[in-house]
Amino acid sequence: MKAAVVYKKGEMPKCADFAEPIVQNENQILLSVKAVAITNLDKGKASGKHYSSENNSQNGFVIGSDGVGLLENGTRVYARGISGTIAEKAIIDKNIVVPLPDGISDAIAASLPNAVAGSAMALKFRANIQKGETILINGGTGFTGQIAIQIARHYGAKKIIVTGRNEKMLQNLLELGADEVVSLRQDDHAIIAQLKQMHSNTPIDIILDYLWGHPAELILTALKGNGSFTNKVRYVTIGGMAGDNIQLSSGILRSIDLQLSGSGLGSWSKNEVKLLFSEILPEMFLLAAQNKLKVNIETVSLVDIEEAWSREVLDGKRLVVII
């Protein structure tokens, strides 16, 4: 079969002939793959930099962790891969599949799950979002940030603030549902002052952070209290695009009512993951099928995977491989 194969971590994946995966037990079935999104998770695994990366394989390994395809009976589903998914065939767990509704394309369906997991899981299970709350999305100009804005609104957020460096996308996010934006291209003092003013006007309840690093330090500095009572802030880190480490003052932690947590692979309970597949993803697929969830994608053929892997995808689009 044709597949996107990495022979050495850090190298570009190549479209190559690769042995078709073999079902090992009764819980595994073969999926005829039709579309797979390229995510930061997949790139991290391929480079060996993500904490869930596989060990080196002498014969190479197929990249891709999930995808959309057809079961043997013709049912169109989304599934997580037991084997790599950017390939003509992949092994999946027959008990963990999500049937797709009519009206949603393979490419759009493939683009959503990683972004949904990277936003809905944090909002529901780490931040326990309530209707009428104010949400700050740090680094919201990317694909997942765009989905997070729409899901936060769907879950009842009253006000949504978004930070980012892409000025054009920040303005587009106002049309997508954001209420206010903060440009991270400003100097530190301007960013802190703007966030302080926003927090003073409408206290921030939840922060979804896709950047961490220095932008997180600025946000936490802006939240620092002065000894009076403070609004509880649930701060959830989801990514580290601006760096994995921060300096955090003890004075900040002592001066505000702060809940700091993370959302990602390994942090979710079995029941939370079960709900992702049984309730959250089906709901989001249906919203997309009804054109109530806007999705910004670009497609590429499997044969062009090597060129596409290093391509800079602009304007917060998600790159989807069509197989």
Q: Are residues 61 and 72 in the same domain?
A: yes
Determine how β-strand 258-262 pairs with β-strand 28-38.
unpaired
CA 188 – CA 15 distance, rounded (Å)? 44
CB neighbour list of residue 11: distance below 8 Å, 6 or more residues apart: none
What is the band of 49 on the pLDDT scale with cuts at 50, 70, 90? low
- pLDDT for the residue numbered 313: 83
List, edge to edge, every strand of the sheet that includes 180-183.
180-183, 159-164, 134-138, 206-209, 233-237, 258-262
Q: Provide the residue count of the chain.
A: 323
Choose one of 262, 295, 313: the last residue of a domain. 262
- pLDDT for the residue numbered 225: 94
SS3 call for 308: helix
pLDDT tens digit sequence for 54-94: 555 667 999 999 999 999 999 999 999 999 999 999 999 99
Q: Angle of helix 106-117 relative to helix 281-289, nearest 10 degrees? A: 140
| pLDDT at position 165 over 90 | yes
Per the prediction, the chain carries an average pLDDT of 94
pLDDT tens digit sequence for 273-293: 999 999 999 999 999 999 999
Q: Are residues 133 and 110 in the same domain?
A: no
What is the band of 315 on the pLDDT scale with cuts at 50, 70, 90? confident
Task: Supply the range of the domain harboring residue 8.
Answer: 2-116+269-322
Q: Are residues 241 and 303 in the same domain?
A: no
CATH number, domain of 219, equals 3.40.50.720
What is the band of 167 on the pLDDT scale with cuts at 50, 70, 90? very high
- Residue 131 tokens read as 């209707």
CA 194 – CA 212 distance, rounded (Å)? 18
What is the band of 170 on the pLDDT scale with cuts at 50, 70, 90? very high
CA 153 – CA 284 distance, rounded (Å)? 13
CATH number, domain of 6, equals 3.90.180.10
- pLDDT for the residue numbered 44: 78
| pLDDT at position 35 over 80 | yes
Choose one of 214, 246, 262: the last residue of a domain. 262
| pLDDT at position 99 over 60 | yes
Q: What is the pTM (predicted TM-score) of this model? A: 0.92
| pLDDT at position 50 over 70 | no
What is the band of 39 on the pLDDT scale with cuts at 50, 70, 90? confident
pLDDT tens digit sequence for 230-241: 999 999 999 999
pLDDT tens digit sequence for 259-271: 999 999 899 999 9
| pLDDT at position 46 over 90 | no
Q: Are residues 66 and 199 in the same domain?
A: no
Q: Are residues 29 and 68 in the same domain?
A: yes
User: Looking at the 3D structure of the chain, how many domains does it have?
Assistant: 2
What is the band of 221 on the pLDDT scale with cuts at 50, 70, 90? very high
- pLDDT for the residue numbered 43: 85
Q: Are residues 40 and 163 in the same domain?
A: no
Q: Is 285:105 a contact under the CB 8 Å cutoff?
A: no
Percent of the chain with pLDDT over 90: 89
Q: Are residues 74 and 183 in the same domain?
A: no
Q: Are residues 203 and 292 in the same domain?
A: no
Q: Are residues 231 and 212 in the same domain?
A: yes
- Residue 294 tokens read as 């806007």
DSSP of 40-85: HHHHHHHHT-STTPPPP-TT-EE--SEEEEE-TT--EEEEEESS-S
